[in-house]
Amino acid sequence: MAEPQDTRVAVYLDFDNIVISWYDRVHGRNAYSKDRQRIQEGTADAEVVERLNRAMIDIGAIIDYASSFGTLVLTRAYADWSSHVNAEYRSQLVARAVDLVQLFPAAAYAKNGADIRLAVDAVEDMFRLPDLTHVVIVAGDSDYVPLAQRCKRLGRYVVGIGVAGSTAKALAAACDEFEAYDSLPGVARPQPAQTQEPKKTAKQAPRKQAKPATTETVAAEPPAEKDEARATEQDQATATLERALRLGRDKGDADEWLHSSAVKTQMRRMDPSFSEKALGYRSFNDFLKSRSDIAELEETGHERLVRLRDD
């Protein structure tokens, strides 16, 4: 990858996608679909307003992360900006010099409207601006896989940003690098929102003694699912680390030590969505220490070396 001063970056945001995905991440799977009618009716519903506020997107976190790759030469966000949900973000976006591309829904939910317009603009920009080096796609749909592949074929470094749990694995794999919105600096990780569900059941079972049972029933399932998902992510990261260490060992001498930065780079090539911070570690070094059963770590001065432990 070129040095930051030599790089020029274009950013494309499928805004509806990221807003809906984060809403679901904060309030639970398919929460936006369940609340869609109430959301579209306006801001008179105090409960919906509160839920929308809790699921606000941090625009600055996305733009700042994209700028870490080089100079931002264009940034576009695609959505129906007449929607009051999206209109809440207009001042933030304009303040960060983001071009707002208006999409007028031709059908019920403007199926594929943003996907097609964004992809056409991105390809046109690559030919119009040959000095573009990086393309940042903020979305999670697998529909963007062909775009990511085309950008790479045209010699651009592709960075993806999406919400954990709502991003297609195929899209993450198609990018040179992928980062979960949840793990961007400044973004607060969502807290479990289990207090909303009992309100719906309270009308059906208003008696006081029924509420604790309802709350326990609602809250019992999601934490178990989240724990299982975290365990799966940890196992996948361990397997990726082991493969990366084996690749490094196979390419060199059996006893050769590898720079930890090189190992991380290889892991990101194998799984662009890998992030030690998303897994709960402050640094890649801490991640390696937690895998001491397969990774042998040696710290000499400022150098951090690692190699695969003997089988």
What average pLDDT does range 107-129 have in this prediction?
82
pLDDT digits (tens, 9 = 90+) for 251-279: 766 568 999 999 999 999 888 989 999 89
Q: What is the DSSP string of 37-67?
A: HHHHT-S--HHHHHHHHHT---HHHHHHHHH
Structure confidence at residue 4 (pLDDT): 45
Lookup: tokens for 202? 């309270």
Least trusted range by pLDDT, from 89-103, 155-169, 182-196, 223-237: 182-196
What average pLDDT does range 71-90 have in this prediction?
93
Nearest to 157 by CA among 134, 132, 177: 134
Nearest to 185 by CA among 63, 37, 56, 52: 63
Is the pLDDT assigned to residue 311 strictly greater than 70?
no
Instruction: Match 């941090």 to its residue by tokens.
Output: 58
Helical H segments across 10-167, by residue range: 15-27, 31-40, 46-54, 59-67, 84-87, 90-95, 113-128, 145-153
pTM, entire model: 0.76
Q: For 4-183, which CATH superfamily applies?
A: 5'-nuclease (3.40.50.1010)
Residue 165's pLDDT band (boundaries 50, 70, 90)? confident
- E-only strand ranges, the chain: 8-14, 71-79, 99-102, 134-138, 157-162, 177-180, 258-259, 295-300, 303-308
CATH topology (fold) of 230-308: Nucleotidyltransferase; domain 5 (3.30.420)
CA dihedral 271, 273, 278, 282 (to 10 degrees): 60
pLDDT digits (tens, 9 = 90+) for 219-237: 344 666 667 777 888 999 9
Structure confidence at residue 241 (pLDDT): 95
Lookup: tokens for 82? 């007449």
Residue 158 β-bridge partners: 135
In angstroms, the Cα distances linking 146 to 115, 150, 151, 174 are 11, 6, 9, 8
Distance CA(166)–CA(196), nearest Å, equals: 21
Domain ranges of the chain: 4-183, 230-308
- Cα first-last separation, the chain: 34
Q: What percent of the chain has pLDDT over 90?
A: 61
Structure confidence at residue 123 (pLDDT): 96
Helices 46-54 and 31-40 cross at an angle (nearest 10°) of 130
Residue 159 β-bridge partners: 136, 177
Nearest to 11 by CA among 98, 94, 93: 98
Residue 192's pLDDT band (boundaries 50, 70, 90)? low
